[in-house]
Amino acid sequence: MSNEAFDAVDVIRTKRDGGQLSNDQIDWVIDAYTRGVVADEQMSALAMAIFLNGMSRAEIARWTDAMIRSGERMDFSSIIGPGKKIATADKHSTGGVGDKITLPLAPLVAVYGVAVPQLSGRGLGHTGGTLDKLEAIPGWQASISNERTIDILGSIGAVISAAGSGLAPADKKLYALRDTTSTVEAIPLIASSIMSKKIAEGTGSLVLDVKVGSGAFMKDIQQARELAEVMVGLGQDAGVTTSALLTNMDTPLGLTVGNACEVEESVEVLAGGGPADVVELTLELARVMLRNSGVDADPAEALKDGRAMDKWRQMISAQGGDPDAALPVARETHTVLAPQAGTLTRLDALSVGVASWRLGAGRARKEDAVQLAAGIKLHAKPGDTVTEGQPLMTLMTDTPERFDRALQSLEGAWDINGQLSETSIILDRINA
């Protein structure tokens, strides 16, 4: 005779038939799955039922809370207060191509006395991972203890690190399952996955960068807006000041896609240069983070006067990295030339992201290694004029046998003299 409060089959049936799960059912199923009482195939069936029938706002909030309660919560109260940091602020991106924004953003916001505990992830598929990028810096360590995190936040004000295993363990287990059961796109499950980790992380405010377009997880702006609204609501319900920006991911961000090359571009931004789109998005997210933390300042000044660069150097050094060390360089390159003269009117983010992945910059499975020097440098972006035979992009890898498959993914990836669509980086704002 089982001592369990519910039976997994009954919970699955409730959601399969379009019903609403009770708080007690949600609490039990998350806890029982974490303990191994609910089997993977049962949670797969429930995830598919949620994917097909959705969840109410109350159900999503309770599901998120149950995932938070499956593990520990971080507490940064010791570093905030009179004479200490003003507040804690974090940013989450739903992932894109060339999205290196976290690297310049965290030290930039920290300049203004706001602590930035940026728990980041690794790349999967065509989407790059912040930790993979930073590991291109010799000596830099992604995994640090909670105690060390709090120490660095108190002294320097910015940490970019891997989430500890104690934060929302239910999410880690469920995320792996969603990946293999075609339920990744379920908005209630995406929202609760992201927000359970961010709320457990203990940040006071959060800005969400929800990407929309070819290279994004969400191709459709209406779906992206729905996801953003659900996540903002979850954050607000949990007492975290939360805002969202919907941003354009039809074209890669910046001029680099990869690991070491994106670090190089981030350093250019911190030095007061860098591509206009990367600078614009970095500054816009910084403004929201500062405003949500009660700070009235223009972060553009800290990029110009060197304070953001100083903070970057301190942040990298604190995690064992050498900010002056040479970054890895690929052994082999291949240049793609413009087939005709004219205006580049389209450059597909997904195609470029897949090409970079195939060159070795990304991974197909979580356990795969990445090549730190692999990736793509873009020599032109939509709106630029090109001449016939001019370099469009340079592919980089240590394993030249990868070039053929990367080039296959770039077939039809750009248009010259087509219709140029004028779209801004920021597509919409939700409570921002």
- Residue pair 239/203 in contact by the 8 Å Cβ criterion: no
Instruction: Using alpha carbons, select from 306, 286, 321, 233 the residue that is nearest to residue 57.
Output: 233
- From the centroid of its chain, how far is CA 85? 25
Query: Does residue 214 have an active-site annotation?
Result: no
Q: How many CA atoms lie within 13 A of 121 on its CB side?
A: 21
**Is 196 known to be catalytic?**
no
Residue with tokens 């203890």: 145
Query: Is 171 one of the catalytic residues?
Result: yes
Question: Can you tell me the distance from the alpha carbon of 55 to that of 358, in angstroms, rounded to the nearest whole number?
Answer: 37
Of the candidates 192, 193, 196, 243, the residue annotated as catalytic is 193
Radius of gyration (Cα) for the chain, nearest Å?
22
Distance CA 354, CA 410 (A): 8
- Which candidate in 92, 100, 122, 172 is catalytic? 92
Spatial strand order in the sheet of 342-347 = 385-386, 342-347, 414-416
Which of 127, 306, 90, 75 lies closest to 207, judged by CA? 90
Active-site annotation holder among 171, 250, 277, 348: 171
Catalytic residue among 91, 126, 197, 402: 197
| Active-site residue, 193 included | yes
User: CA-to-CA distance for 198 and 73, rounded, in angstroms?
Assistant: 10
DSSP per-residue codes, 57-113:
HHHHHHHHHHHHTTS-----GGGBSTTSBSEEEEEEE---SS--THHHHHHHHHTTT
Query: Among 100, 122, 133, 178, which one carries the catalytic annotation?
Result: 178
Concerning whether 120 is annotated as a catalytic residue, the answer is: no
Closest of 197, 187, 127 to residue 162, by C-alpha: 197
Active site residues: 92, 171, 178, 193, 197
